[in-house]
Amino acid sequence: MNDIQSDRRSSALAAAHLALNRFGLGTRPGQAALLVSPRDWLVAQLSPQPLPQAMAGLPRTVDVLLEFPKFLAEQKIRPQGQAPSDMPSSMTMQGSSAPVKGAAAPGIEISFGQRFGPGLATEVVARFAAAVQSETGFHERLVWFWSNHFVVSATRAQAINLVGPYEREAIRPHVNGRFVDMLLAVMRHPAMLIYLDNQQSFGPNSRAGQRRDKGLNENLAREAMELHTLGVNGGYTQADVTELARALTGWGVRYNPLSTEEDRFVFDAARHEPGTRTVLGRRYPEGGVEQAEAVLRDLAAHPATARFVAHKLARHFVSDDPPADLVKRLSNIFLETGGSLAALHQGLVDSPQAWSPAAAKVKRPDEYLVSSLRALDLTELPGPALQIASRAMGQRQFYAPSPQGWDDQASAWLAPDALLKRLEWADAAAHRIPARDVRLLAADVLGPQLSESTRREIDRAESPQQALVLLLASPEFLRR
């Protein structure tokens, strides 16, 4: 083999590791050597993918929503009909116009958390399993990215079992579709309507609003502009927020327990604020559900949205402070293709900046956990331990702290205690699996990314366990 061939082979191997580790969810032993054309492998994932096997049989939104009235009915037979103390307040408020006053729930009843918590634990394990088993890691990463962009958090108790169905129904089907379709699916989804309170927003001059003396809640409208589309500096005002909130009145959740309809979105005209709306200087005539849809379509196509989304994507995959020309290029692709996410994602793959050998990004806790399980080639997952570990590292799965989602910069994940938790995880993993030749494993999963200093420390480790901790805690494994 001459030098040129050797160079070509090693650069192909380097590209394979970057594709697997930076764009994907980590390298399984033996995987990189089989990846002949890394770019083609990535681009092939920018088409519809089947639901991961690990998620087969998980509940749909309709299944979860139909459990709520059953739970409420069970509560009614308890003494005095008291609600359990942790039940989401909005559930006790259905059809009531004033806060419920009264004493705490007596005795010990099954609480909302006890009833619905196990469902969330199942979702967490399934999501980890899907990631660990995935042969299309880039696609999974894109699901995670968009799921975080349009985050719904189980911090809102009523959304606790909807977060999993939400990702499967509103995010996955559109991940390589059009941005506007994902936006509309998100805004119509019960999980989002509940999480950001639109389910309870009434047009003050609507029939229902007047009858029940209820009014606007601007939460969803504000975050739709600030976090989902334009970005906070996208040029909107408080008046625009209020106008979108008015347009969105009536967008709600179909709770009706007698209906088994799968689509649980309902537009309630009786709650909808009548009249023409003006958003960003443009007038939207009265038109029921189509009114807010028209606003959202315009927001999705806005240049500020293109810039905001392009910056976020580049920051996620390339660097905390992404190159301006990369952001500009992605933003242009977004605008030129009418918000085609497949084109946007391919633009990322085609950008030389995304293939820089230096690993600038610190893995998020879930990325770190999944990549370590993949490197160890584990097929049996440590189940609940994954949520415990992820939470200890600062990322309790499905419990993003705010509608802004998880932070995407190293400073958020490199607190001393959070780093220590990664080392502890590495240690726990190293002592629970059969010993193996870590020197070979390190070369296999990191390839040309394995630094000389890490290779040397692994060589000198006093035990296979210690060598494995050093691999999983090495800078090149903590980063991507």
Cα–Cα distance for residue pair 445/196, rounded to 1 Å: 42
Candidate segments 16-24, 62-70, 72-80, 405-413, binder of other proteins by CB under 8 A? 405-413
Segment 348 to 387, residues that bind other proteins, using CB under 8 A = 362
Q: Which is nearer to other proteins, 156 or 174 (CB)?
A: 156
Segment 109 to 148, residues that bind other proteins, using CB under 8 A = none
38 and 19 in contact (C-beta within 8 Å)?
A: yes
Segment 37 to 76, residues that bind other proteins, using CB under 8 A = none
Tell me the closest approach of the beta carbon of residue 262 to other proteins, in angstroms. 27
Q: Which is nearer to other proteins, 77 or 104 (CB)?
A: 104
Segment 406 to 465, residues that bind other proteins, using CB under 8 A = 407, 410-421, 423-428, 431, 451, 453-454, 457, 460-462
206 and 274 in contact (C-beta within 8 Å)?
A: yes
Q: Which of 392, 408, 433, 439 binds other proteins (CB under 8 A)?
A: 392
Candidate segments 16-24, 34-42, 90-98, 341-349, binder of other proteins by CB under 8 A? 90-98
What's phi and psi for 77, nearest 5 deg? -85, 0
One symbol per residue from 175 to 214: x for binding other proteins (CB under 8 A), - otherwise; what is it? ----------------------x--xxx-x----x----x
Can you read off the two tokens belonging to residue 30? 């033996």
Interhelix angle 341-349/324-336, nearest 10 degrees: 150
What DSSP string describes 265-306? EEE-GGGSPPS-EEETTEEE---THHHHHHHHHHHHT-HHHH
Q: Which is nearer to other proteins, 335 or 410 (CB)?
A: 410
- CB neighbour list of residue 444: distance below 8 Å, 6 or more residues apart: 27, 29, 30, 32
Q: Which is nearer to other proteins, 345 or 364 (CB)?
A: 364
Can you read off the two tokens belonging to residue 414? 């490199």
Q: Which is nearer to other proteins, 218 or 293 (CB)?
A: 218
Tell me the closest approach of the beta carbon of residue 243 to other proteins, in angstroms. 14
One symbol per residue from 290 to 329: x for binding other proteins (CB under 8 A), - otherwise; what is it? ----------------------------------------
Q: Which is nearer to other proteins, 92 or 353 (CB)?
A: 92
Segment 207 to 246, residues that bind other proteins, using CB under 8 A = 209, 214-219, 222, 226-227, 232, 238, 241
Candidate segments 55-63, 86-94, 282-290, 438-446, binder of other proteins by CB under 8 A? 86-94
The count of C-alpha atoms lying within 13 angstroms of the C-alpha of 273, restricted to the half-sphere facing its C-beta, is: 23
Q: Which of 315, 401, 436, 439 binds other proteins (CB under 8 A)?
A: 401
Rg (alpha carbons) of the chain, rounded to whole number: 24
Cα–Cα distance for residue pair 316/410, rounded to 1 Å: 11
Cα–Cα distance for residue pair 430/463, rounded to 1 Å: 10
The count of C-alpha atoms lying within 13 angstroms of the C-alpha of 433, restricted to the half-sphere facing its C-beta, is: 25
In our burial notation (b when 16+ CB lie closer than 10 A, e otherwise), range 205-227 reads ebebbeeeebbbbbbbbbbbbbb
